[in-house]
């Protein structure tokens, strides 16, 4: 019999992906971010292929990011920021963070 699988965290596996409220909020934020990415790309007159080349990812991944169907890594956000010449904060500003109450972590 195999030994129980150990996690790399002493406190056990994350429960974030088991919380419906978190999953719904993440889905909503990914779609809003995707809309913002598409607007930035189109404002620059770039095709998905040109944006993918500038960012350093596959064009299919650009499409998935723009539709909110793929999770985005921090590294990819940094690459997008550099490729589009916008501050990193501009990519996420106005999604849900703008409505957060200071210090609570909850929408206000």
| Segments in the chain below pLDDT 50 | 96-108
d(CA 70, CA 68): 6
d(CA 93, CA 85): 15
Question: Which pair of tokens denotes residue 84?
Answer: 């589009």
Per-residue pLDDT, 87? 94
d(CA 41, CA 46): 5
Residue 60: how many other CB atoms lie within 10 Å: 11
Q: What distances in angstroms separate CA 93 from CA 23, 98, 104, one per listed residue?
A: 20, 6, 18
């Amino acid at each position: 019999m195999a030994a129980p699988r150990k996690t790399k965290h002493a406190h056990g596996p994350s429960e974030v992906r088991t919380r419906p409220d978190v999953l719904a909020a993440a889905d909503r934020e990914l779609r809003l971010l995707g809309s913002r990415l598409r607007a930035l790309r189109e404002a620059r007159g770039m095709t998905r292929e040109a944006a993918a080349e500038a960012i350093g990812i596959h064009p299919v991944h650009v499409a998935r990011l723009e539709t909110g169907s793929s999770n985005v890594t921090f590294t990819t956000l940094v690459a997008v920021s550099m490729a589009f010449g916008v501050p990193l904060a501009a990519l996420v500003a106005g999604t849900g963070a703008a409505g957060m109450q200071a210090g609570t972590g909850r929408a206000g």
